[in-house]
Amino acid sequence: MIQKDYLLLLARHNAWQNSQLKRKVQAMSAAELSEERGAFFGSIMGTLNHILWADTLWMSRFCSDVPQPDTTLEDSPRFTETAGVWDAERFRMDGRIRIWAQTISNMDLRESLSWYSVAAEQHFTKPVGLCVTHMFNHQTHHRGQISQMLSAAGIAPPVSDLVLMPEDA
């Protein structure tokens, strides 16, 4: 399963992807960001918020110092009120993910994580490594949707290829 070195790479990639998205978001109006685009979570902003919400939820399960979101899955597209608030919260969460990735051990990744999912209405117990892999895969899935929405809006999406990530990202 996943090992710490790979986790560190994924944490770096996540922060790099989000920093590129921030530049795209800053160049767009609130109306462009909130425009309904037929995605799972409606708009670019809704999808960005959903990713941040899910990262916050997963990190609250991994780390006792990260509070669980006080909103539901259905409310996740409105997790932050503005692009500016999203930007600040995204920056904080990316930093928290990177710090956590630096402190976790390979043995920690093999342990089990138990939680209750309100969305699925059931208890789960899964290996931490699988849950971590899911968190990063979830981000990638929804960032792909954002890339498509940006392309459809005539905006070049960020570079997402892992092999093209700068060494200093």
Q: What is the pLDDT of residues 40-80, one digit of tens each?
A: 999 999 999 999 999 999 999 999 999 999 999 999 999 99
Q: 85 is written with which tokens?
A: 């608030």
**Segment 124-137 mean pLDDT:** 97
* Res. 166 pLDDT band, cuts 50 70 90: very high
Q: How many CB atoms lie within 10 A of CB 68?
A: 11
The pLDDT assigned to 1 comes to: 77
Q: Name residues whose C-beta falls within 8 Å of residue 22's C-beta, 6 or more positions apart in sequence.
A: 87, 90, 91
Q: 13 is written with which tokens?
A: 């990639």
Cα distance between residue 61 and residue 40, in whole Å = 24
Terminal CA-CA length for the chain: 25
Cα distance between residue 139 and residue 52, in whole Å = 9
Average model confidence (pLDDT) across the chain: 96
* Res. 153 pLDDT band, cuts 50 70 90: very high
pLDDT at 82 > cutoff 90: yes
**Segment 83-95 mean pLDDT:** 97
